[in-house]
Each structure stands twice: as C-alpha cells, then as structure tokens.
Structure 1
Amino acid sequence: MAEEHAFVVDDVVLRRGDTTVLDRVALRVPLGRCTALVGRSGSGKSTLLRVLTRLAEPDTGAVYYRGVPVAEWDVLELRRRVQLVAQNPALLAGTVAEEVTVGAGGLGEERIAELLTRVGLDAGLAGRETAALSGGEAQRLALARSLALEPDVLLLDEPTAALDSESATAIENAVLSLVRSGVTVLLVSHATEQVRRLADHAAVLVAGRVAADGPPGELTYLEETA
C-alpha cells in the first residue's frame, strides 16, 4: 500500500437495514494535503468519516491507514492519530484551557496559548467558560482540543456550517495553515467555493457513491451539490 496516502478506501459498502448508506466507495486521501468530500445531506459523507475512525464498521470492502488495515490498528491509537471534529462539537463545562487539555493533559500555559493562537483564538480566552463562547469560537476550540493530541490527520465535518463569515474565514485560515504545516485534512463541506479555496482534490458523493472526483476547479459536478 503506497505510503503517500494517509487513507485508502477500497470498495466499501455499509448498510443499515435495507438502506445502502455507502455503496462501493473508493477514495484516496493523500498525505499532507486537503481532500474534500462533497455532497448533499444524506449522501454518506459523515458516515464515511465514522468508518475511517472505526466508529462504524463496513459490511464489505477495506480501509487502510498508512498502508495498514484500520482493523489492525489499536483503536485508541488510531483515534489519537486521526482526530474527528464534529459539526456541532460537544464541549465540557469548564474553562477554555481545561477543554484544550482534555485527552492531552500536562499542557502548560504557553502550549495552551500556542494552540489557541494556531486556530485563530485569542490566548486571553484561556480562562473563559466554554458556555460563554460563540459558535465560531466553540468550533475553533474543538479544533485546538484535537490539535493538542498532535494528530497526523484531521477529519472536519462541516466545520463552518451555520457560522458567520468572520468565523468561517478564521476556520478556513486555520485549515490552510495546518495543511502547510504537514497535517492531512479530510474536509466534509457543502460549500462549493470553500472547497475550491481549501482542497487540492475533491470527491462528490451521491446516494452513497462516488459520482466524480478530481481537482475542485475541474469538477462541474460540484455545482449540483451546492
């Protein structure tokens, strides 16, 4: 299995009852790049992210991470290396600093400030209660919490949905910075222009199938998913 790919998905099928949610999905996620999954609601995008982190198991097909079947990875190690940031992340009651250290532990003030700055948050927010954050701030905090674990891959599920333009821009800038630093990003988005700004490659899911894939600027199919 080629090492230039973080993930390789081969003919994955996942069914729920009589419904085929993923239908022979094939996907390559290059290391150190941003790849986008595009499609309408219910097309299987979020389910595929869950398959990659073994939160859902396919009925048939194979998924490889760094050339090794995901079933052979210790699941906790896999999820440390591959962080899934949900569309509506759940934050614990407490301060911003406490949230950043969930799962990581032992982080000093300087490291916490660095992580907050990396996602476009003011380091001065460290002592604020998470309940007082705006939607955009909460989304960026969830991203910082994931980065505290120093993952190789970030799976971002509609990270700017329902955010104002300023917050969305801050998230996009953080994603671009992360990719430049070598982090692999798999981005789920329904925003065509965002995909073109951020992604090197895009795959369009329609009813659980990859209907098209290629450079975002060359995929006219993207317009049909907006």
Structure 2
Amino acid sequence: MVTSILPLRIHAAEVKRRGTRLIGPIDLTLGGTGITIVLGPNGSGKTTLLRLLHGLERPAHGGLDWSIPEEEARGRRSFVFQTPTMMRRSVTDCIAYALRVAGTKRAEARARAREMASQVGLGHALDRSAQVLSGGEKQKLALARALIREPEVLFLDEPCANLDGRATREIETILTDAKSRGTRIVMSTHDLGQAARLADEIVFMLNGCVRELNVAGTFFETPATPEAHAFLNGQIVE
C-alpha cells in the first residue's frame, strides 16, 4: 500500500524577499480529500502561499512537513500557473513531455498523452501547435500535463482568471472529475461564485496571513471574522 503524502503540516512558515515579509507566519494543516479554495483580496498572499506549499518558495522561518520525505513527496504533486508556459511542440508532445522526463518511453508517453488530451477536450487538436491554442485550450493542456502523472495533490493559481464562462465551466468539470478520482486540489481564485461551486474548504488570507480556515458552507454563511464578512460583501478589505 502506498503511503499518502498528506497531511501537509505548515508551522510558523514565513516567506521573505529582500528582507520584506511576503506571507507568514503561517500555521496550517492540509489533509483529507476534496478541494481547498484560497480566497483573499489582491496582494493578500494567495499565490505566494501556493508556491510555498508546492516548494517553489522556501520558508525563511518555520517549515513544512509532508507525511513522507520531501524527496518522495515532490514527485507526487503538480502545479498549474495562472498563465501556463507553452512549449514549441504539438499538443500531444507537450502533454507527453511530463511522462518523458519521468522515464516513460516515447510511444507509451504519446499514447497516454492522446488519451489524456481527449479527456480534457483537446482530442481535436492533437497535432496542433500548443502555441496557437486559445486561452481556454492552453489551460486545458496545462491541466492535462499536470494530471497525466496522477498527482496526489494538485496546486492551481487562479486557473480561470482570464477565461470566458464556457471555458471556465469546462475547466471546473476537469477539476471535479480529478477530485472524484482522488486528487487533492488546492487552488486560488478571485471568483466567489467559483469558490462556492467548487470548494469543500476555504482558506481566507489577508495581509499575508491566514485569517480563517473553514468548511466552505460555514464560511459563506457565517464567516468567523469581520474581514471575511466584509470581503464576501464586496467591500474593500485592507
């Protein structure tokens, strides 16, 4: 039986840049299943928190502990950026790349990539250059590339920020399907409607700190802090 990399325990973690504290201290435990949505006003530290959790930022103080050694946990999580990087390759080869770097043979990697492309709605574009895809298609490709290695945890930084309603709905379907297959999802969004649709749990951030961690239904109905209440009401929160 494979040991889960969760829970992830964050204790007194801070991220600093040039001596300035970006976020922290953060105390947080992520475990179980489902989708955690990170909310907060612009500049609250959502992206930096996700980068810290995934390992793209190193804590200046405090630390993070997965349930297995970091070297093993690193290969079982993925990150999708708000604006994903597109390689100068076909859709098939861009998705297959994630498997190729892990040692999968080319023929098998491309076969699995074609299957994954079809699952995310890119079956019509297998041989098309990734560079010419629409914004929604590029985000689907990024998700396919992240999911093809079946990560236990998937981090996403506002994956629908620049997409229209139809593309957003399609991305949300991919995410709910991934959740149903057991992928633990942690993502940020500025869209309260999307958070209400997807979230099992809410992390509310303000000024670089986690101000509230709550079950989604409770957070939206009876937020625990006046700042969260004001944020949900569309007020400017500083």
Q: What TM-score bracket applies, with the shorter chain setting the length?
A: 0.7 to 0.9
* Structure 1 residue 48 displacement after superposition: 1.6
Higher-Rg member (1/2): 2
Q: What amino acid is aligned across from residue 161 of structure 2 in structure 1?
A: A
Q: In structure 2, how many angstroms separate the alpha carbons of the residues matched to 1:15 and 1:155? A: 21
Which of the residues 87, 93, 100 maps onto 1:92?
87
Give, in whole Å, the separation in 1 of the partners of 2:58 and 2:140.
29
Per the alignment, in what secondary structure is the counterpart of residue 162 of structure 1?
coil
Which amino acid in the other structure matches residue 88 of structure 1?
T
Q: Please give the alpha-carbon distance, in whole angstroms, between the structure 2 residues aligned to 1:6 and 1:118.
A: 29
- Mapping of residues 30-109 of structure 1, within 5 Å: 30-65=31-66, 67-68=67-68, 72-74=69-71, 77-105=72-100, 106=105, 107-108=108-109
Q: Is the 8 A contact 1:29 1:186 kept in 2?
A: no
Do residues 168 (structure 1) and 175 (structure 2) align?
Answer: no
TM-score (norm 2): 0.84
Letter in 2 for 1:56: E
Aligned to 1:19: 20
Q: CA deviation at 1:216?
A: 2.0
Unaligned 5+ segments in structure 1 are none
CA RMSD, aligned part only?
2.0
Deviation string for 1:112-161 (max 9, x for gaps)? 23212332x13121111112210000001001011122211100110000
Partners in 2 of 1:222 and 1:153 — Cα distance? Answer: 29
In structure 2, the partner of 1:188 is 188
Match of residue 216 from structure 1: 216
Change (3 A) 1:64 1:214: same
Specify the SS of the correspondent of 2:21. Answer: strand
TM-score, normalization by structure 1: 0.88
Change (3 A) 1:179 1:186: same
Give the SS at the match of 2:99: coil
Distance in 2 separating the partners of 1:222 and 1:136 = 32
C-alpha distance in 1 between matches for 2:136 and 2:112: 21
Given the alignment of the two structures, is residue 150 of structure 1 paired with residue 150 of structure 2, yes or no?
yes
Equivalents in 1 of 2:39, 2:200: separation in Å? 13
- Are 1:179 and 2:179 matched, yes or no? yes
Deviation at 1:18, TM superposition (A): 4.1
Q: Secondary structure at the match of 1:88?
A: coil
Q: Distance in 2 between matches of 1:223 and 1:152?
A: 34
- Once residues 183 and 229 of structure 2 are traced to their aligned partners in structure 1, the CA distance between those partners, rounded to angstroms, is 25
Gaps of 5+ in 2: none
Given that 1:192 and 1:222 are in contact with CA atoms closer than 8 Å, whether structure 2 keeps it comes out as no
**Aligned residue pairs, count:** 217
Q: Summarize deviations over 1:70-100 as a string: whole Å, max 9, x none.
A: xx422xx544311010000001011000100
CA distance in 1, matches of 2:5, 2:73: 18
Code of the aligned partner of 1:224: F
Q: Quick one: distance in 2 between partners of 1:222 and 1:183? A: 30
